[in-house]
Structure 1
Amino acid sequence: MKVIVIEDNPDHFEIIEDAFASITGINAQVVRADTLAAGKSLLFSEYFDICLCDLQLPDSSIAQTVDWLSSQTHPLPMVTLTSLHSIEIAQNLLHKGVQDYLSKDELTAQLLYKTCQYAIERFRHQQEATGYNQDMQVFCDSLSHDFNGHINRIKGVSRALKSDLMERTSCTADELQWFDYLETSTSEVQNLVSDLQSYLSVGYVNQSFETVCLKLVVKKVVASLKSALQIDFEANMPNELPTISGNPALLQLLFQNLIANSIKFNNNQPIIDITMKDNGNYIDIVLRDNGIGFDPIHAQKIFSPFNRLANGKKFSGSGLGLSIVKRIVAHHDGSIEAHSALGVGSKFTLKFKKEA
């Protein structure tokens, strides 16, 4: 095992080096870098199995080191070395690509060995999962491309046939209706393919997390839907919505599907009220609408793929919109609940972890 230790304190490095030396059954080659710059240089020029990195270094403050650890895609497992007062910082890094942390105040040879072994194994699994995710994304994109290619050809032939017939003779009302039906049906299949791609992609595409302002996300979604749907609807929200750690594209898709759902399943001019509530370690985002509602016995069923409770002839769609919402919320370690009754609108409560 070849280990790089980025540690400026020689006494601390000696403790780590001695701990590795006392572990029977492994031959550990331990290399020290006393600054972050020296550590980066070694990582670039040599192969290591694992990196142990102190948070406080002569050429890098804790904030700068944290930024480097969390903003890079590292080619090897990273373990942070902390003192007792910085354990919370190290714990937060576990959600940003770092495999584990070690408290220098409680370091033992056995703990050091187990931590390194687990970090290496965890990193290997993450790399395998990344490869699987990339394969899954290629599959989703290929599936969407192939389906849309066939559908566009059907549309093209249908339009050409209709145009040719109209030039040679007049079509009956029934024949025109069949052409319209073919156009509508192929468009619905394209929408289904798009929704399927979104549904399958959640959790598999490369989705980096960052600080996201939900107020800006919702405002962008509302503006986009008003432009695309050409429907007059009212969307009310507080002056402030929280920032959370998440993926901007997925969160935009979440609110787009949720708000579009409230607009679609509505016999009135849609009114959507969005509120928030601080709930300890979580933030509740509540969306209420004045739509047709649903029977409360179906409160869980509506999040299942391809479930459509409303009249399919009046309210078209793939039945995947709320399923996509639920997958995105789960991907952000959150939850969603639905409450409603027939004819009185619906309420959706999203729970997100507060940003650390």
Structure 2
Amino acid sequence: MLRTGGYAAMRGVGLRSGMRWTAMMPVHMTNELHNLAEVSVTAVLGSGVAVGALSEIGPKARVGARTLVDRFVTIQEGVEVGNGVVLRRGSCVYEGTRIGSETSVFENALLGNIPQDKKYRGEPTRTEIGQNSTVREGAIIERGTVQGGGVTKVGSNVLVMSGVYIGHDCTVGDECVIGNRTSLAGHCELQKGATVGGHSTVVQRVTIGAESMVGARSYLQRDVIPHTLVSGTPARLRGLNIRRLRKTMDRRDLWQAIAGFNFIFKRGSLPRGFSLSSGSAENITSFAGRAEALMKAMPPQSSHLLKMVLFQIAEFLIYPSRIGAYSEIRK
């Protein structure tokens, strides 16, 4: 019987009847396997692993030290699980999946299952999840397809809330947050620090830029510019993601960033201290053209953070693949 002061209790996992636990588990690091658990003889378990009743660990699976596997968990053949991972009741980790250290997977989550794509013919593809991420209840993360690069990636320090669907070949960068019941169709990309509000839908091959915010219940058909806020059905550009920028920028840089945004998207004047060496930007109507003019007008003494934010916005617009969505300024 698990003692209330045991190591698993501290991690919030209840491995119940039939399990003996050493009170000094972090010191002795002995493995505890329930007598109803099935562990392949070719599986490799690190020290301090606990496996609950009716759980299965397949052939050639590798489970890192201090990992806690609750009841009714399935770990298929060849799966790699890092140190200190928690797999809660009913979760399933399919073959070809790798989970980074200190990641928590909650009840009934499915990681690396077969993609819902007609092109998939059973090829050996992968799913990779970074370190210290959280996958909440009922979330689904599909494996990649050969046509899409063969891997679905979720970065480190990511929060995937309950009921989220991440389709095949998606890439989710570090420190992203995906709200409840959000669906990402295949080949989508979330860049570092992006946030998607709950109950949103993102269509295939959409890129959501770094540090951007998508409002709840949004329907995304086109790319989201870094450091901006979009919302609605269909989603529309609302402005800069001010709440996020306030955490890192001082007031002067924030106002400069807002002025730069207005110059590109609202035909405003150049930010204070910015100047073009020749000509005027009045006749430039494309977002990409005005973004390029803003970069040329930026004074060299501007702060590194301001340069980074405006450069990421401009870079996103100047690439030819982005221009179709934001080519002309609406009057």
Q: TM-score range by the shorter chain?
A: under 0.3
**Greater RCO structure (CA 8 Å; 6+ sep):** 1
Of the two, which has the highest radius of gyration? 1
Compare the two structures and name the one with the higher helix fraction.
1
Q: TM-score, normalised by structure 1?
A: 0.25
Compare the two structures and name the one with the higher strand fraction.
2
